[in-house]
Amino acid sequence: MELTRDFERGITERIAADPAFASAVLDEIDELLLAGDDATARGMLRALVMGTIGVDALARPLDTASESLHQILSTDVAFPSPGLSAIVSALKRELGVAAS
Q: Tell me the pLDDT tens digit for each residue of 61-87.
A: 999 899 988 888 886 766 665 688 889
Calculate mean pLDDT across residues 11-37.
86
User: DSSP 3-state assignment of 54?
Assistant: coil
The predicted-structure confidence for 5-22, as pLDDT tens digits, reads as follows 677 677 778 877 787 888
Domain that holds residue 11: 5-95
* Secondary structure of 18-50 as H, E, C letters: CCCHHHHHHHHHHHHHHCCCHHHHHHHHHHHHH
Burial 8-38, CB ≥16 within 10 A → b, else e: beebeebbeeeeebbeebbeebbebbeeebb
Q: Please, which pLDDT band fits residue 96 given cuts at 50, 70 and 90?
A: confident
Instruction: Indicate whether 99 pLDDT > 70.
Output: no
Total domains present in the chain? 1
Identify whether 85 is part of a domain.
Answer: yes
Calculate mean pLDDT across residues 52-56.
90
Identify whether 100 is part of a domain.
Answer: no
Identify whether 12 is part of a domain.
Answer: yes
